[in-house]
Amino acid sequence: MTGAQILQLAGSILLLVAFLLAQSSSIATASLSYLILNWIGSGLLAGGLALAMQIGFVLEVIWSAASLIGLVRVLAPRRHSMRDHQFSLKGNTNTERKPSC
């Protein structure tokens, strides 16, 4: 077994594990573990395909990039929640006056 084949096998196993866990409802597809399994698995598979000079590595690079985008979204703080937090520190920013009775 060549190094490229080992990478392809390891990557495929990780992708299959992620898929099976998601199908059995053990993990959510937006969870950190699912995204990490997908990112590493597709990266290994892409590396193995690139070493074997197979064009399928392009699809795996796209898969890996999509997983990485998902990881960044899960790990990065949300901008709107920070903005909401800043407004709550300043107090009520509502300048609309309510009629007095």
pTM: 0.69
Give a yes or no: residue 96 inside a domain: no
- What total of structural domains would you count in the chain? 1
pLDDT in tens, the chain (101 residues): 899 999 999 999 999 999 999 999 999 998 999 999 999 999 999 999 988 898 888 888 898 999 999 999 988 876 655 555 555 455 555 555 555 55
Residue 26's domain comprises 3-89
**Which pair of tokens denotes residue 58?**
């392009």
Give a yes or no: residue 85 inside a domain: yes
Give a yes or no: residue 65 inside a domain: yes
Residue with tokens 């597709």: 42
Helices 32-51, 57-75: inter-axial angle, 10-degree rounding: 150
Tell me what pLDDT residue 33 has: 93
Give a yes or no: residue 22 inside a domain: yes
